[in-house]
Amino acid sequence: MTLSPSLPRGATVRRDAGLYGYERALGRVGLTPVAGVDEAGRGACAGPLVAAACILPAGRRGVVPGLADSKLLTERAREACYEQVVRRALAWSVVVVGNEECDRLGMHVANVEALRRAVALLDHRPAYVLTDGFPVDGLEVPGLAVWKGDRVAACIAAASVLAKVTRDRLMVDLDREWPAYDFKTHKGYITSAHTAALAEHGPCPAHRLRFVNVRRAAGLEPPAPEEGDRPGPASRGEGGAPDRVVRNPHHQESR
């Protein structure tokens, strides 16, 4: 498969190249090291947003046992993979953006800013950056947005593991502080239990007021329309309007 035209000529990835194909293709045209960046928690209505960047070394040392998209790994496998990434990485960084900053900036702006910060904090300056799904401006080095990058590029997968394990640990800490919401189970994503807790207790300081369900629980938005009623205009995540509610039946594997 030929890479995007934004990559140098001659950089190609075979369909059977595996998880490390992008890094090898970029290395063949002299673009090393390659950093991958990813985030966790963008769709949650509580807790922080966490972004990570990772550079894996070339050769056998950069091959991380069991590495895959963090959403496809069990909690135990993610923890084991996290330890391997930290041990093997040429450089890695993690950035935590609190829920209050997410509210102030809006989720998209907060996400892009966190990814930029993560790259800037790397001990080694990358020659190229691979991002998961969408381009990130302002990285000061060339890069490529890779569709489902955490499943096809090792450095992005490594970053996804760093971000998710870090955020899951933070959500367990928040659960101890606010046990009524069961953050340790759903990690701040919307589930029936989380919705019930919001209805009973209202939001806690860890919730994001940009999300319409949180605003409703706080009495800042009118109740949701009854089934069959005409819905109002969709909420927007920028300009002071609330972000949408993200409902994910696989919340424990969400980012």
Coil, helix or strand at residue 49: strand
Q: Which of 79-83, 142-146, 196-200 has the lowest mean pLDDT?
A: 142-146
pLDDT at 113: 96
pLDDT at 222: 83
Q: How far is CA 41 from CA 27, 104, 183, 219, in A?
A: 31, 16, 12, 24
Q: What is the pLDDT of residues 65-122, one digit of tens each?
A: 999 889 899 999 999 999 999 999 999 999 999 999 999 999 999 999 999 999 999 9
4 has a pLDDT exceeding 90: no
- What mean pLDDT, rounded, does the chain reach? 85
Q: What is the sign of the dihedral through the CA atoms of 132, 136, 53 and 63? A: positive
193 has a pLDDT exceeding 50: yes
pLDDT at 235: 38
Chain-centre distance for alpha carbon 44: 10
Of residues 235 and 55, which shows the higher confidence score? 55
Q: State how far the Cα of 146 lies from the Cα of 143, in Å rounded to an integer.
A: 10
Angle at 187 between CA 181 and CA 193, to 5 degrees: 40
pLDDT at 190: 95
pLDDT at 21: 86
CATH superfamily of 21-173: Ribonuclease H-like superfamily/Ribonuclease H (3.30.420.10)
Percent of the chain with pLDDT over 70: 81
pLDDT at 24: 87
> Considering the entire predicted model, what is its pTM?
0.83
What is the pLDDT confidence band of residue 9, given thresholds at 50, 70 and 90?
A: low
Angle at 124 between CA 123 and CA 128, to 5 degrees: 135
Of residues 152 and 171, which shows the higher confidence score? 171
Q: What is the pLDDT of residues 10-51, one digit of tens each?
A: 455 555 447 988 898 898 899 999 999 999 999 999 999 999
Q: Which amino acid is at 108?
A: H
What is the pLDDT confidence band of residue 165, given thresholds at 50, 70 and 90?
A: very high
Q: How far is CA 81 from CA 84, 154, 159, 190, in A?
A: 5, 12, 11, 26
Counted residue by residue, the chain has a size of: 255
Of residues 135 and 172, which shows the higher confidence score? 172
Domain residue spans in the chain?
Answer: 21-173, 179-253
pLDDT at 69: 84
132 has a pLDDT exceeding 50: yes
What is the pLDDT confidence band of residue 254, given thresholds at 50, 70 and 90?
A: very low
